[in-house]
Copies of this chain bind each other. A is one copy, B any other.
Amino acid sequence: MGLTASDLAKACGVSRSTVNRALLGEGRINKDTKKMILEKAKELGYKPNLLARSLAMGKSMTIGVIVADLNNQYFAGIIDAVGKRVKNEKYLLNVTFHEKSKAAEKELIEKLVSFQASGIIISPINKGREFEKYLKELPIPTVLIGNDLKRTTSVGIDEYQATVDAVKYIMQKGYRNVVFCCPPLKDDDGKNNLGHVLRLKGYREVMKSCGLKSCCIYGDDYLPQIEKNIKKSAGKPAYLCSGDIFANEVMTFLHQKGYMVKRDFGVMGFDYVKSYQNGIVNITTIDNHISAIGDKAAEILLDMINGKLARDEYHHEIIGYDIKEGNTL
Contacts of A77 in B (CB 8 A): 70
Distance of A110 Cα from B279 Cα, bound (Å): 43
Are B279 and A255 neighbours in the complex by a CB distance under 8 Å?
Answer: yes
Are A93 and B97 neighbours in the complex by a CB distance under 8 Å?
Answer: yes
Q: Chain B nearest CB: distance from A140 CB in Å?
A: 10
Known: A51-B51, A93-B97. 19 other contacts (CB 8 A): A2-B139, A47-B110, A50-B115, A51-B60, A69-B80, A70-B76, A70-B77, A73-B275, A76-B76, A80-B97, A92-B111, A93-B95, A94-B95, A95-B95, A251-B279, A252-B277, A276-B278, A278-B281, A280-B281
Contacts of A193 in B (CB 8 A): none
Most B CB atoms within 10 A — which of A55, A111, A114, A252?
A: A114
Q: Is A24 an interface residue (CB 8 A)?
A: no
Are A70 and B60 neighbours in the complex by a CB distance under 8 Å?
Answer: no
Q: Chain B nearest CB: distance from A248 CB in Å?
A: 6
Q: Is A273 an interface residue (CB 8 A)?
A: yes
Contacts of A252 in B (CB 8 A): 277-279
Q: Is A261 an interface residue (CB 8 A)?
A: yes
Distance of A93 Cα from B65 Cα, bound (Å): 11
Q: Which of B71, B254, B278 contacts A279 (CB 8 A)?
A: B254
Q: Is A83 an interface residue (CB 8 A)?
A: yes
Q: A residues near B, CB below 8 A?
A: 1-2, 47-52, 54-55, 58, 60, 69-71, 73, 76-77, 79-80, 83, 87, 92-97, 99, 108, 110-111, 113-116, 139, 245, 248, 251-256, 261, 273, 275-281
Would you mind naming 7 contact pairs between A and B with Cβ atoms under 8 Å apart? A1-B58, A51-B55, A94-B94, A94-B95, A95-B96, A251-B279, A280-B280
Contacts of A69 in B (CB 8 A): 80, 83
Distance of A279 Cα from B97 Cα, bound (Å): 30
Q: Which of B48, B73, B93 contacts A114 (CB 8 A)?
A: B48
Distance of A99 Cα from B81 Cα, bound (Å): 12
Q: In the complex, which residue of chain B has the Cβ closest to the Cβ of A282? A: B252
Q: In the complex, which residue of chain B has the Cβ closest to the Cβ of A276? A: B275
Q: In the complex, which residue of chain B has the Cβ closest to the Cβ of A58? A: B1
Q: Given A58-B1, A83-B97, A95-B94: A114 and B50 within 8 A (CB)?
A: yes
Q: Chain B nearest CB: distance from A293 CB in Å?
A: 14
Contacts of A99 in B (CB 8 A): 83, 87
Distance of A58 Cα from B52 Cα, bound (Å): 10
Q: Chain B nearest CB: distance from A268 CB in Å?
A: 14
Q: In the complex, which residue of chain B has the Cβ closest to the Cβ of A245? A: B275
Are B261 and A248 neighbours in the complex by a CB distance under 8 Å?
Answer: no
Most B CB atoms within 10 A — which of A49, A79, A111, A279?
A: A279
